[in-house]
């Protein structure tokens, strides 16, 4: 990866020579870590830009890959021990779960914007205060709202997507388990995002790897049973996930409280809600939450269209494995690069170097394209072998899965570029543009195609796959165009 010449750091927003960096609170000088505490990594804003992107990207990509392997193993074990109805159940359950949980986790996008900007300005105190307020808000929302509402609405949500009775029977206990004990996963996402935005992506990798290893070990026992422990089947996958995420998140939170990480909660910090910070979290995070809800609602409606096809369960199973799992071979890298682009762009904007922010996003996009080309070639050359890993041997499922992978081999090129430029926009504080882009590309375009096809023609699986591809292409074009306009350079962040 090419690197740029070292740029001397800006010690204040007023020293920036180009763009409009963060408008930090007047009269408050940046602070550094207390003696004995880990300091913020200044190489992201002072060193070569390519090296800065790589430093954040590789641990994030590897963490996504390790976490993605967990999902693949879940599907593989469920496919072998339960059958393709279990794969469909996990697929539809995750789609529904993400619709709800993504709204709460949008707070972490707002947190990432603030943390990256304050870390770029070398203000350690504001970094810590922001992360604590995100933790406090997410905890309250998940325990007092998400858990009870999700548990009681789960049957209705499964009926809404036209899941077959067999799929609903497998999905209901899985979905209810995920809703009731979502706090562990939310804390994992929050701490990983906070550390990455502060410049420490490696600790998030270690935490993620630990959670995955524990999850896989639990799933081997809980899905198929072992000794006196009965086989829980599909629900066992959910049980393993919530136990592992809660255990690892608790350990990570203990490290934060003990001051072992770059983000920590000092004892002299106020433990009360800070509504100024919370409003900023929602200001930058809420558009991302609405964006995530819109994307996942569109995904649920896609499942509803699949439910109306002749081989509905087979189509949903092919989609659950092909799109949610195999396509993640591309999105693991893309999401990791998106996080790297957001962190590096946000920190450099906070330090007063918007040109470095722009170069970081371009570098991330080029790296993602290389991976998308390689994985897309596998989708075209050995689709049947990839599907067989998940126990999908039913002829109709294999035919539909192979068909889908052909479309995804092209979609991956557009998705990886769209995600990295989305990271650049969100990391610098422009969280509204990705929302509008999503509404057009992930909702209006694919669903418009499907509603039209259903009204005037006979809906087929290829129509659904074509609609997905059209949405990804649109998102790519709009994301790049919006970032190139450069309006993100003038976005201010403050805690007034």
The pair of three-digit structure tokens given for residue 430, joined into one six-digit string: 């422009």
On whether the CB atoms of residues 427 and 410 are closer than 8 A, the answer is: no
pLDDT at res. 25: 35
Q: Which of 442, 432, 114, 138 is nearest to 286 (CA)?
A: 432
Cα separation of the two ends of the chain: 40
pLDDT at res. 146: 86
The values of phi and psi at residue 20, to 5°, are -130, 95
On whether the CB atoms of residues 321 and 87 are closer than 8 A, the answer is: yes
The model's pTM is 0.78
Q: What DSSP letter does each residue of 72-100 carry, written as one string?
A: HHHHHHHHHHT-HHHHHHHHHHHHHHHHH
Other residues' Cβ atoms within 10 Å of the Cβ of residue 156:
8
pLDDT at res. 478: 97
For 4, counting Cβ atoms within 10 Å of its Cβ (0-12 exposed, 13-18 middle, 19+ buried), the class is: middle
Question: Residue 226: beta bridge partners?
Answer: 229
On whether the CB atoms of residues 78 and 237 are closer than 8 A, the answer is: yes
pLDDT at res. 448: 94
- Mean pLDDT for each 10-residue chunk of the chain (496 residues)? 31 31 36 58 90 91 77 73 78 78 79 93 92 91 88 89 82 92 90 92 91 90 88 89 94 92 88 91 89 79 83 83 84 89 95 95 95 95 89 86 94 96 95 94 93 88 92 97 95 76
């Amino acid at each position: 990866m090419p690197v740029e010449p070292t740029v001397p750091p800006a010690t204040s927003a007023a020293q920036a020579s180009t763009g409009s960096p963060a408008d930090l609170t007047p009269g408050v000088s940046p602070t550094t870590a207390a003696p004995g505490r880990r300091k913020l990594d200044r190489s992201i804003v002072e060193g070569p830009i390519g090296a800065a992107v790589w430093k954040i990207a590789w641990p994030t990509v590897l963490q996504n890959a390790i976490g993605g392997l967990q999902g693949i193993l879940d599907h593989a074990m469920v496919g072998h021990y339960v059958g393709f109805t279990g794969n469909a159940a996990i697929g539809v359950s995750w789609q529904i779960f993400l619709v709800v949980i993504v709204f709460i986790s949008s707070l972490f996008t707002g947190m990432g914007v603030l943390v990256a900007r304050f870390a770029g300005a070398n203000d350690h105190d504001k970094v810590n205060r922001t992360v604590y307020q995100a933790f406090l808000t997410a905890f309250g929302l998940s325990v007092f709202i998400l858990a009870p509402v999700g548990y009681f609405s789960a049957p209705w949500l499964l009926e809404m997507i036209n899941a077959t009775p067999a799929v609903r029977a497998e999905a209901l206990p899985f979905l209810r388990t995920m809703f009731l004990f979502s706090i562990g996963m939310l804390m994992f996402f929050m701490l990983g995002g906070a550390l990455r935005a502060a410049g420490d992506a490696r600790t998030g990798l270690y935490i993620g790897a630990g959670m995955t290893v524990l999850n896989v070990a639990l799933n081997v026992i809980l899905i198929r049973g072992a000794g006196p422990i009965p086989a829980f089947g599909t629900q066992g996958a959910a049980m393993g996930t919530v136990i592992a995420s809660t255990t690892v998140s608790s350990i990570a939170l203990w490290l934060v409280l003990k001051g072992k990480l770059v983000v920590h909660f000092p004892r002299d910090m106020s433990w009360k809600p800070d509504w100024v910070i919370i409003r900023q979290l929602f200001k930058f995070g809420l558009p991302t939450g609405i964006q995530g809800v819109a994307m996942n609602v569109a995904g649920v409606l896609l499942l509803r269209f699949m439910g109306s096809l002749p081989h509905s369960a087979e189509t949903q199973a092919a989609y659950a494995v092909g799109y949610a799992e195999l396509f993640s071979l591309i999105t693991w890298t893309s999401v990791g690069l998106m996080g790297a682009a957001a962190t590096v762009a946000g920190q450099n904007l906070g330090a007063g170097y918007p040109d470095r922010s722009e170069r970081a996003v371009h570098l991330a996009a080029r790296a993602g394209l290389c991976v998308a080309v390689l994985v897309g070639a596998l989708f075209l050359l050995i689709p049947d072998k990839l599907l067989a890993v998940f126990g999908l041997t039913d002829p109709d499922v294999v035919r539909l899965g192979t068909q889908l992978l052909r479309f995804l081999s092209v979609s991956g090129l557009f998705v990886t570029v769209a995600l990295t430029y989305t990271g650049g926009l969100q990391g610098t504080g422009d969280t509204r543009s990705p929302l509008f882009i999503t509404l057009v590309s992930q909702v209006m375009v694919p669903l418009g195609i499907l509603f039209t096809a259903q009204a005037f023609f006979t809906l087929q699986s290829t129509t659904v796959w074509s609609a997905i591809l059209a949405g990804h292409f649109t998102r790519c074009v709009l994301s790049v165009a919006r970032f190139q306009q450069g309006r993100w350079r003038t976005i201010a962040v403050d805690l007034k």
